[in-house]
Amino acid sequence: MGTSYLFVCSKCKYHVEVSGGEDCGFIVKTKTMTCNDCRALVDVSTGHHSHVKDYPFGIDLGVCPKCKGRNVNEWINPGACPKCAGAMIRKDAIVYWD
């Protein structure tokens, strides 16, 4: 089961719900990345578990789920805000997903 957390920028107050690193549910594996096209933190699909025969739902690997761009880089927690380079602070767990 994956977990998403609320991250808030200490400088500009940008906020987003992401895992904050590598994560996985029952089917999908994700990694939190910075999208350089839409300047957002996003959880990008990076693969699926070996028990899954076909990758589900037509999800593209390595693609920003917001803008569909491929200009993404790994974000390492604690990391910089994609909007202003301020410090992103992890708050409480928001969502448990599978």
How large is the C-alpha radius of gyration of the chain? Answer: 13
Taking only the tens place, the pLDDT of each residue in 16-51 is 999 999 998 877 889 999 999 999 999 999 987 666
Specify the pLDDT at position 47.
Answer: 83
pLDDT per residue as tens digits for the range 48-89:
766 666 655 556 789 999 999 999 999 999 999 999 999 999
Q: What are phi and psi of 58, to 5 degrees?
A: 65, 25
| Burial category of 53 from C-beta neighbours within 10 Å (exposed 0-12, middle 13-18, buried 19 and up) | exposed
Domain residues for the domain of 60 are 2-97
pLDDT computed for residue 44 by the predictor: 95
- Phi and psi, residue 57, nearest 5°: 60, 15
Give the H/E segment covering residue 30: strand 28-35
Q: Is the peptide bond before 56 cis (omega within 30 degrees of 0)?
A: no
Q: Number of structural domains, the chain?
A: 1
CA distance 96 to 52: 20
